[in-house]
Structure 1
């Protein structure tokens, strides 16, 4: 299984979740260079493209680089 820059395993979410399970998530189409800010827990599933994910917790910034399509991140 391919790893991200931080050595985290990249999960091919389409191999794990069924289509019925995927449909339970709210999907948003975001333009390139979009930024998502959240103070609540968010589940991000990349259906296409790639993303640089970063988040702040307890005053520290955590960055995940270049997660590719069919991956999931919990913020």
Structure 2
């Protein structure tokens, strides 16, 4: 699976987001800082989604499996 990072130069630095992951967006003074911030934003969005899913599932019986995605 591949995700698409998008970066845009702004007068005060850069903004970045992931096209396929709503909510994963950030900004930074440099492109390198924005890339690092975006990785953190992705982790935070995934953690928040995990918490929301657990709340929705409640005490229902479910089966969980780990899915590993290669990181480029």
> TM tier, shorter chain?
under 0.3
TM-score by length of 1: 0.23
TM-score by length of 2: 0.24
Give the greater-gyration-radius structure (CA): 2
Using CA pairs under 8 Å that are at least 6 residues apart, name the structure with larger relative contact order, 1 or 2.
Answer: 1
